[in-house]
A = this chain, B = another copy of it.
Amino acid sequence: MPRQVDHARRRRQIAEAVWRLAGRGGLEEVTLRQVAAEADVSVRLVQYYFGTRDDLLLGALEIINADAGERARERVEAQGPGLREIVRAVLLELLPLDEERRARHVVYAAYFVRFLADAGLRAAIQDDPDALETMVAALLADVTESPGDEAAFLVAAAGGLQGQILLGHRTEADAVRLIDRQLDRVFRV
C-alpha cells in the first residue's frame, strides 16, 4: 500500500465537501463527481471511502451529527453552574450564531425531506431529538410547575427561530433577545 493513511481524516475531508455542497445547493448538488472535485480527490476515492451515493449521504450525516453533539456538550459544559445559563446555552445551540452552526443547520435542512422517507437516515440523528428537551425539562424542574411543557415550548421556539434566522427573517440578536425574554418569564426574574 502507498503510505498508510488516516482513514478517519480522509472520510472527514470528503464529508466536509458533502456538507459544503449540500449547504450550497441541497442534496441535488451532492453528486460523486462534485464531491470528488470539492474535496480534491478522485471519484474513485469517494467510492472507496463511502461506497454508494446513499452510503455517502448517510456517512457524511453521521459525522456532522457526531460533531454537533460534541460541540454542544463542550459549549454547555463551559457554562457556569447557574441553571439559567445552562438552559440558555442549550437553546442557543439550536441557533445559527456562528458559521459552524449555521452550516450545520443548513445541512440538516438539506436532508430534511429525505429524513421523512428514509428511516435509516432518520435513525442517524434521532438519538438526541428530545434529549435536548429532556435535559431542559430536568433543569427547569425546580423553577416552574410544568417543566416538561415549558421545555418543549422553548426548544420548539428555538427551532423555529433557527429557520427564521437562516432565511433572514430575523436577526440573530433579536432571536437571542426573544429567548432571554422567555427565560426571564420562566425563571421569574
Contacts and interface: CB of A to CB of B under 8 A. Distances in A.
A163 B109 CA distance: 10
Interface string A88-109: 0000000000000000001001
Interface of A: 22-28, 106, 109-110, 112-117, 122, 129-130, 146, 149, 152-153, 155-164, 166-170, 174-175, 178, 181-182
Given A158-B160, A160-B159, A28 B25 contact: no
Given A26-B28, A112-B112, A122 B160 contact: no
Question: How many chain copies?
Answer: 2
> Secondary structure at chain A's binding surface: helix, strand, loop or mixed?
helix
Contacts of A159: 159-160, 163-164
Contact of A115 (B22, B27, B112, B167): B167
A178 B133 CA distance: 14
Contacts of A25: 113-114, 117
Given A117-B25, A178-B153, A109 B106 contact: no
A116 B166 contact: yes
A22 B160 contact: no
Nearest to A119: B168
A140 to B, nearest CB: 14
- By Cβ-Cβ distance, the 5 closest A-B pairs, closest first, are A159-B160, A156-B160, A160-B160, A157-B157, A26-B113
B117 A24 contact: yes
B109 A112 contact: yes
Contact of A113 (B23, B115, B130, B178): B23
